[in-house]
Amino acid sequence: RSKGLIVNDPVYACKALKGYTCVSNFAREVHFKQFEADLIGRKDNKNEAFVKHHNSKYSGVLPVWAMVETLSFGAVSRLFSSLNISLQKQICEEYYNGLRHSTIANWFEGLVVLRNLCAHHARLVNRSIVFSPAFSFADNAYFESQGYE
């Protein structure tokens, strides 16, 4: 199907090589457009060697592993939440022991809040944090089976 990164089959390229460039992988086209605009802004501002390499060698289309390196943690959270549900479920099955996609999206959001508080030197002790991660009964059962209480 492909010779190096030159791909003759656009469906294969969309699914296998650069799925983040496929509007069909997003829940809505507006989410794809927002992500695309965010990504273009980040990629153009990067002085990283791998970004320069892909900009010169491959017309700036980064493989997913390189693209994620250019994102902030908040952008990773938004990317996951913007993906279509079937893709979110597939990711959760593969990498998060089958936890619900809505739980993982919720955790991403909570971690973004926590990360931003820490990055801006906010105190965490005796602070009311508006956002807290949600756990379903199934999630709690999984963690209890792993020895967490």
Q: For residue range 101-123, what is the model confidence (pLDDT) as tens digits? A: 998 999 899 899 889 989 998 88
Question: Which H or E element spans position 128?
Answer: none
Token pair of 66, please?
């390189």
Q: How confident is the model at residue 48 (pLDDT cuts 50, 70, 90)?
A: confident
Average pLDDT over residues 129-135: 75
3-state secondary structure of 33: helix
Largest pairwise CA distance in the chain: 58
Full-model pTM: 0.74
Give which of 115, 109, 1, 21 is closest to 66, Cα–Cα: 21
53 or 78, higher pLDDT:
78
Q: How high is the pLDDT of residue 44?
A: 58
Say yes or no to pLDDT of 129 above 70: yes
Contacts (Cβ under 8 Å, ≥6 apart) of 65? none
Yes or no: say if 102 and 135 are a contact pair by the CB < 8 Å rule: no
Q: How high is the pLDDT of residue 18?
A: 62
55 or 12, higher pLDDT:
55
